[in-house]
Amino acid sequence: MKTYSITTPIYYVNADPHLGHAYTTIVADSLARFHKLSGEDVFFLTGTDEHGDKIVQAAEKQGQSPQEFVDTISARFQALWPSLGIANDRFVRTTDPAHKQVVQDFLQKVYDAGDIYFGEFGGHYCYGCERFYTEKELEDGLCPQHLTKPEFISEKNYFFRMSKYLPWLREHIAATPDFIRPERYRNEVLAMLESGALEDLCISRPKSRLTWGIELPFDKDYVCYVWFDALINYISALGWPDGADFARFWPGEHLVAKDILKPHAVFWPTMLKAAGLPLYRHLNVHGYWLVRDTKMSKSLGNVVDPLQMGRSYGLDAFRYFLLREMHFGSDASFSEDALIGRINADLANDLGNLFSRVLSMTAKYFGSIVPEGRGLAEEDAAIAELCATAMRNYSQLFGHVQFAQALESLWELVRALNKYVDSQAPWTLYKQGNMERLATVMLVLLTAMRKIAICLWPVMPGIATRMLEQLGQSVQADSAPVASLEAEIGDFDGLQPGTALAASSNLFPRIEKKDAESGNSKNSTGKALRKEKNRAEARQGQATAPADTTTQAEAADTTSRRPEIDFEQFKAVDLRVGTVVVAEKHPNADRILRLEIDFGEGTPRQILSGLAEHFTPEDVLGQQVCAVLNLPPRKIRGLVSHGMVLTAQDGKGLRLLTVSGAVDNGAEIA
C-alpha cells in the first residue's frame, strides 16, 4: 500500500494555542484524511516544542518550573485537537525521553562525521527568535521577525558546518520545483541561498546561560540549540534510526507557516544531508491569518480562539471556512462577518439547500427510497460529466495544497445541481405523472450528492458523515467512507435503488449577523446608517449625498421615501442579465470589485461594484447577474464603471440578484 505522512510544526508552548495553530493542524488533518480517502496508509504527526529561553521566561512569570509550565501548556494543545475534529496518529513532545535520546544520537552522528566544531562567535542574538543573526541578515540593525534590536553576545559554542551543504541545497531546490511550495517561497529560499548571508549554524548554548535544553552528548557543559532539537522531532517520532515507522513513513512532507520557512527550508535539509538521511518530499508553506489587516498577537489582543469559533458556528463549518477562505500560501483576513457570510452563502444557500430540497422531494415523490432510473438524457449525462470533472479537479488541486481552488471546483457542481433542479422542475414532472423521468432526475441528483459528501469528508468529516447517512450510506467514525476516491471519479454510481433515505435535511441553518454597531453607544444608530450609506455609494459609484438624519425604522421603510413612477419611466431603465467573465479586486479600492460582464454585446462591459466586503472574486466569477446598463459612465478611483450590478440586502446579508435558471447573456429584464 502507498504510504503518506504529514507533519505540523511542533508548536512552541510559551502561550496558549490560537487560530494560527488551529489552521495549520486542521489543514494537516484534512490532508491526512484526503490521502486516506485515496486509499493510502497515512501517518499524521503533531506535537509541542518545549525547550529554550522563552520557556524559562514564561515559566518564571507563572511562578512555575519549566517542566511544570510545559506540562500545562502542552496538555492544552493535546486537548484542543479532538475538539476541532483532528485525528493525529502521534503527539510528540521535545521533553519526551525518547526524543531526547534521538537528538543526542543525531548530534553524535553529525559530530563524528566532522560537521560539528567548537569555536568562538560574536553575534546579534534575538531572544524572541532564540537565534543569532549576522549583520547581513538584520534589517536596519533590527531582527527581521520582531523588529527589535538584538543583543550582541560573544561566547564559545558548537557550530554545524551548514555552509558546507548550502551549494548542494541550492542545486537540489533548483532541480526540484515542488520541493518547496507554493513557488513564491521556493524563490524566497533560493534568493536567501544566493545572498551570501547564511553561514555555519550555532547549535549550542552554554549551561552558564541556559540549562533548559537537551545536553550535548559530547560536552556536558552545553545544551542543544532549540531549533536543532525541535526539527529532529520529525524522525524521533518515527523511531529513527531502526523503528518500523521510520522505514515505513519517511520521507514524508511538512506543513509550516511562512515565519519558520528558513529553519525548515535551510537548517533541516542540510542537517538531514549531513546525517546521510533522505530529504522530506515537500515543504508546504502557508501565510498568516490577519485580524483587521494585522497579524494576530496576544499583546495586541486580537487573538482568535478557535475552540470558541467552532462552538459558536459549528466545527465543520469553521473548518470549511478556514480552507475555503485562505488561498494557501497567501495571507487571509479573519472576521466573524466573513465566516457568517461563507456559512450562509456556500453552506446554507448552496449545499444545505440542495440536500434539503432533494431529500424532501424524494420523500414526497418516492417515500424516501432511492428510485430506479431509466437511462440518462443529454442533460443528465452533462451532470454526470460535470461531476467527474469537478471531482477530478478537486482531487488534483487538493493534493497540491490548493484547497480554496479545490473547494471552488466542487462548488461548481453544487451550484450546477441547484440549477438542474430548477431546469428539470421535479414538481412539474410529478404533476404531469411522468414518474419515469422524475425517477431519473432524482437519481442523478442523489448520486451526485453522494459524490460531493465523499469529497468533503477530509474538510468536514462530521457533516460529510451526516450527509452520507442521510443518503442511506453506512459510515464508520474516522474511517474513509470509500476505499478509493479515484474509483468514485470514474463511475457515476454508488446508490442502490431501494435504499432508504432521510426524509429531510437541515445541515446548515442560516446564521443571523450580529449588529457590530449595536450596544450602549448613543451614536450606534448613526454609525449603522453611515456604514450602510457608504456601502450603497460604493455599489452605485455615486457622489457623497448630504448627511442622512433618518432613524433606522424610517430607513427600513424604503417604500415610504420613494415617489411613484409611471410605466414609461420604468421602461427607460435598461435591465439586463449577463455572465461575470472577469472578477478581481479594484487596484485602488479595497471594497470594490472590478467585473467584466458579458451582456452579449461582443465585448464584455466593465462594471465596478462595492461587493468586496461580502464576496471574493471567486464567488462571483461565472455567475449570471442582473444589472442596469444605461447609467452614465462613472469614474471610481481611476477606473470607469459602465453600469450597476443589482443586489438585495437585509439583516441576513447581501445577495446578488440573479435568475432562477440560465438565460442568454443580454436577456432583458422586464
Residue-averaged pLDDT of the chain: 87
Q: Which of 3.40.50.300, 3.30.70.3270, 3.40.50.150, 3.40.50.620 would CATH assign to domain 3-295?
A: 3.40.50.620
Q: How many whole angstroms separate alpha carbon 459 and alpha carbon 319?
A: 6
**129 catalytic per annotation:** yes
**626 catalytic per annotation:** no
Q: Is pTM, for the whole model, over 0.85?
A: no
Q: How many whole angstroms separate alpha carbon 642 and alpha carbon 207?
A: 70
Where exactly are the structural domains of the chain? 3-295, 335-489, 564-670
- Residues 87-100, mean pLDDT to the nearest whole number: 97
- In tens, the pLDDT along 7-35 reads 999 999 887 888 999 999 999 999 999 99
Q: Is the pLDDT of residue 150 over 60?
A: yes
Q: In this predicted structure, what is the pLDDT of residue 518?
A: 34
Q: Is the pLDDT of residue 267 over 70?
A: yes
36, 126, 254, 626: which one is catalytic? 126
146, 149, 527, 635: which one is catalytic? 146
164, 207, 295, 652: which one is catalytic? 295
**126 catalytic per annotation:** yes
Q: Is the pLDDT of residue 520 over 60?
A: no
21, 36, 51, 273: which one is catalytic? 21
**264 catalytic per annotation:** no
**262 catalytic per annotation:** no
- In tens, the pLDDT along 126-136 reads 877 777 787 77
- Residue 605 exposed, middle or buried by CB count within 10 Å (0-12, 13-18, 19+): middle
CA distances from 489 to 386, 396, 485 (A): 11, 12, 6
Q: How many whole angstroms separate alpha carbon 209 and alpha carbon 567?
A: 85
Angle at 534 between CA 530 and CA 536, to 5 degrees: 115
Q: In this predicted structure, what is the pLDDT of residue 652?
A: 57
Question: b/e per residue, 445-483, with b = 16+ CB within 10 A?
Answer: bbbbbbbbbbbbbbbbbebbbbbbebbbbebeeeebbbe
124, 129, 262, 286: which one is catalytic? 129
**298 catalytic per annotation:** yes
Cell of 463: 457533516
298, 364, 527, 571: which one is catalytic? 298
36, 143, 262, 387: which one is catalytic? 143
Q: What is the CATH number of domain 564-670?
A: 2.40.50.140
- In tens, the pLDDT along 545-570 reads 223 322 333 233 333 335 566 666 67
Q: How many whole angstroms separate alpha carbon 591 and alpha carbon 548?
A: 21
Q: Is the pLDDT of residue 183 over 90?
A: yes
Query: Does this chain's domain 3-295 share its CATH topology with 564-670?
Result: no
What letter represents residue 349's amino acid?
A: N
Q: What is the CATH number of domain 335-489?
A: 1.10.730.10
